[in-house]
Amino acid sequence: MAYETLNAELLDNIGGKENIKSITHCMTRLRFKLNDESKAKTETIKQLSGVVTVVQSGGQYQVVIGNHVGEVCDEFVKLAGIQTDQEAESDTDKPKGILNIFIDNVSAIFTPVINVLMAAGMIKGLLAVLTAFNVLDKTSGTFIILNAAGDALFYFFPLFLGYTASKKFGGKPFMGMAIGAALVYPGILAANASPTVLYTLFSGTIIETPIHITFLGIPIILMNYTSSVIPVIAASFMAAKIEALFTRMLPRAIRSLFVSFLTIIITVPIVFLIVGPLTTWLGLFLGKSLSAAYSFSPVIAGIVIGGCWQIFIMFGLHWGFLPIALNNFATLGYDVVMMSGATTPVAMAGVTLAVCLKTKNRKLKEVAFPAFLSAFFGITEPALYGVTLPRKKVFYTTSIAVAVAGGIMGLFKTRVYINGGTGIFALPRYINPKAGIDNSFIGFAIASAVAFGLGFLITYLYSYNPKIDEDIVADIDDEVAVLEGVPESVGQTVLYELETPIKGQVLPLSEVKDAAFATGLLGTGLAIIPEEGKVYAPADGEITTLFPTNHALGLTTEAGIELLIHVGMDTVNLKGKYFNPLVKQGQGIKKGQLLMTFDMTAIQEAGYVLQTPVIVTNYKQFLEVVTTSDTHVEPTDTLLTVIN
């Protein structure tokens, strides 16, 4: 835990868990309600490394931490074994329903790797084109190196997802990476491919499984974890809970040594003993069942397999179809089961192209177009995790298009004759080596065209609403772009002008009735005494923090300036009453956009001062922050000029 020492000392000096009635946090400070404030050693707490100061106001014991207060609070409540007020208040914002919770979590886990995923998909797509037209030979050094660059992310996907999933679930990111690495460890892969079989479980049944290795005498049912998604996410969730358990149980003196050790040594075997078997058996069961269903009705089986193929891939269940397909190739010379989901890439390409053409959001366009190209050439991960899955209706549209295409292939009794390319490069796989172009090729070609066209049309006309993305901020990589009309370039110096967010009288920070703001400990800037209850965006950027009580918001401009707008003093105690935010955390904003309204009269009648600090919290990253000399400002006036 990054703040373990700070939180342990804070807990001891504040009077222990027994003295804490409740805890919450705002933008910069931990806000305690203590049973007895006299038990808190205030001067000692002020001297703690990581504490800015202590403010006792409004019946709260406020420990000023800074912008990372949320992380400190999360670790503090885990250490103390208590719950924050925010946790109860924010329950209504959590997604409802198992599927929604699953999709929201998976989307959040994939967001940090989207750009790398896009790059890898583009490289794979480029190689597919170059090899298809014999520009590159697969045995050449050029192909091998470029293939490593494009394929490494997908091969070692569990490592990347272990990191992001652990962060999402509150565990240590490198713990998740270690677990992900274990899943794709060469020794495990070699054991899974080994011809040596110790014995066979459930021989003669639908889940007949060869056993290559055991753990403490318990048979390990192996699967191929490379490129898998769900096993490492489940493992990271489990590891985060185990880590939290041992953090609470073990004495602080030995936590750093034993928490990680115990978490990994317990989690990894559990994954191999439980997650692997469940995934493998379920995949085999589905494969056998749907193969039998295909014999009964190719059309119905094609619809079911096609409609569920995305989900099978996400859970790694498609591996259960592979033995059946390989057996069919060996005995029949063709397969009729796995091909039902073969139009997934082209359907996803159509869906993604529709999103790209319809959205007005530049960031999404930059993600969607290369994702469309990658999907068209058979690499679906960038489109799935970067475009469709985060937008649930779009995700469902892909399944509908593939289901219809699967039904068409069932109607044509389409057969796939060889393993090979995917996407548009899958066409040669459906040419009958004996008869040439027949119903198999025609069926797949028609199904692919329908999947692409149907995915495009449903998405463009119905399932994608561009309003859900219209306010998302531009890619963070474009932070170097200057603000419109500003900044001016003066030699090597750049000036960024921030407009006034609130109309009113200007007040020096030193006159604010809060020591943390008045002394400049939290940042530099000015305060405004509002004349109207409206907050406007001072520049283009993103809402990075919107506290649940809505009294304050933090934003980051496109130039990387972090700004805090804190409406009133101690207004966190109103718990959102009289505040009406018009934006959400993570939402992109444009200069001059109305961000929030608040009832000035009601707040003042409730006994609160409306002094509103507007401060640059990361001012140390810039040469200087120059404040306006005006005593009265309007929303279009320049309030702060940041010099870089």
When the pLDDT of each residue in the chain is averaged and rounded to a whole number, the result is: 81
Largest CA distance in the chain: 91
Q: What strands, in cross-sheet order, belong to the sheet with 53-57?
A: 20-25, 29-34, 60-64, 53-57
> Do 562 and 605 share a domain, yes or no?
yes
Give Cβ neighbours of residue 291 (< 8 Å, ≥ 6 apart).
324, 337
In a domain, 483, yes or no: no
> Do 509 and 376 share a domain, yes or no?
no
* Domain of residue 609, residue span: 489-643
> Do 529 and 424 share a domain, yes or no?
no
d(CA 539, CA 572): 25
pLDDT at 2: 64
Give the CATH number for residue 50. Answer: 3.30.1360.60
Confidence of residue 316 (pLDDT cuts 50, 70, 90): low
Q: Is the pLDDT of residue 79 over 50?
A: yes
In a domain, 318, yes or no: yes
H helix or E strand, kind and range, residue 559: none
Choose one of 413, 443, 470: the last residue of a domain: 470
DSSP characters for 450-516? HHHHHHHHHIIIII--GGGTTTPPPPGGGTTSPPTT-PPEETTEEEEEEE-SS-EEEEEGGGSS-HH
Pairing of strands 218-220, 489-490: unpaired
> Do 522 and 553 share a domain, yes or no?
yes
> Do 342 and 422 share a domain, yes or no?
yes
> Do 385 and 510 share a domain, yes or no?
no
Q: Is the pLDDT of residue 341 over 50?
A: yes
Q: Is the pLDDT of residue 274 over 70?
A: yes
d(CA 104, CA 106): 6
Instruction: Provide the token pair at 418.
Output: 């060889």
Q: Is the pLDDT of residue 488 over 60?
A: no
Mind listing the pLDDT tens digit for each residue in 424-474? 777 887 888 777 788 888 999 999 999 999 999 999 999 998 877 754 433
> Do 68 and 11 share a domain, yes or no?
yes
Instruction: Provide the token pair at 532.
Output: 């109207």
Q: Tokens 């140390």, residue?
A: 620
> Do 518 and 637 share a domain, yes or no?
yes
What number of helices (H) and strands (E) belong to the chain?
Answer: 22, 23
Mind listing the pLDDT tens digit for each residue in 116-164? 776 776 787 678 778 877 888 889 999 999 989 988 887 888 898 889 8
In a domain, 462, yes or no: yes
Mind listing the pLDDT tens digit for each residue in 509-559? 888 888 778 877 788 899 999 999 999 999 999 998 888 888 989 999 988
pLDDT at 625: 85
Instruction: Provide the token pair at 573.
Output: 């105690």
Q: Is the pLDDT of residue 353 over 90?
A: yes
Q: Is the pLDDT of residue 403 over 90?
A: yes
d(CA 320, CA 158): 19
- What is the total count of domains within the chain? 3
Q: Is the pLDDT of residue 351 over 90?
A: yes
> Do 420 and 496 share a domain, yes or no?
no
Q: Is the pLDDT of residue 477 over 70?
A: no
In a domain, 552, yes or no: yes
Tell which wins on pLDDT, 219 or 385. Answer: 219
> Do 321 and 364 share a domain, yes or no?
yes
pLDDT at 98: 60
> Do 383 and 520 share a domain, yes or no?
no
Q: 298-315 and 344-358 are packed helices; what angle lies between their axes, rounded to 10 degrees?
A: 70
Q: Is the pLDDT of residue 347 over 90?
A: yes
Distances in whole angstroms, Cα of residue 234 to Cα of each of 42, 128, 318, 558: 43, 32, 18, 36
Give the CATH number for residue 539. Answer: 2.70.70.10
Q: Is the pLDDT of residue 264 over 70?
A: yes
Q: Are 45 and 54 in contact (CB under 8 A)?
A: yes
pLDDT at 530: 94
pLDDT at 549: 85
Choose one of 62, 93, 124: the last residue of a domain: 93
Interval 359-386 mean pLDDT: 83
Indicate if 308 belongs to the active site: no
Mind listing the pLDDT tens digit for each residue in 555-604? 999 888 999 999 998 888 888 889 999 998 889 999 999 999 999 999 99
Choose one of 58, 93, 128: the last residue of a domain: 93
pLDDT at 97: 56
| Beta-carbon count within 10 A of 400 CB | 19
In a domain, 465, yes or no: yes
Identify which of 230, 426, 299 has the alpha carbon closest to the alpha carbon of residue 290: 299
CA angle 242, 237, 279 (to 5 degrees): 115
In a domain, 144, yes or no: no
Would you call 167 exposed, middle or buried from its count of C-beta atoms within 10 A (0-12, 13-18, 19+)? middle
pLDDT at 90: 42
In a domain, 527, yes or no: yes
Confidence of residue 322 (pLDDT cuts 50, 70, 90): low
Q: Tokens 């989900």, residue?
A: 311
> Do 495 and 602 share a domain, yes or no?
yes
Q: Is the pLDDT of residue 27 over 90?
A: no
In a domain, 133, yes or no: no
